[in-house]
Structure 1
């Protein structure tokens, strides 16, 4: 049995909330501010080692049931410095094929900006 695995999706979707040019309210199949805010649990504290060996909290792509969000992957592998994710991706055969579309938000909180402008009550996300 092989210890390697592949991402089911490597290209960022057109309505990914990590894209600066996407209004979260345009996400297909309905948008829910509360569910979006709950995704803060998938954001690692940069460089935090306390979750190594624990189940990975991942953001799924809103277009599929079983694929990672490519915008989230890019952020957490880059400036998000998600160490458990980086370790997991070492055995991923197609991680070098990740493709983003356009400018990306710098942090998770920025993905919520459009929703907050539309009157949703902000919450303490507990992330830096």
Structure 2
């Protein structure tokens, strides 16, 4: 099974950025652990701070992969373009968020992506990605 994790803006700073919200582990360290634990999956990872690059990646993998785990970060709440890309592809997408977005600022309570995804996992820290991965099993 071929799965890709796509992370949006500022998630490259995990482990350094707001550890009280996001924890102390870098995403690269977490990703390596995930690859070892789920070694029967063909697991890829992509991160960009640029909205258009995220759309390009969704279009690139959205017809050939078995699943996409997408944390669009702040673009979740602002990007109609990413939402349209998710709607246009055939690969199922699971929307994930590390923090409980409903316990944060009001603008984070709305997702443009949610109506177009297979499911949503919010607020379980980095475990959110693993739960999303398990949903494809």
TM-score (norm 2): 0.29
Return the structure number with greater relative CO, CA threshold 8 A, min gap 6.
1
- Greater Rg over alpha carbons, structure: 1
Q: Which has the higher strand share?
A: 2
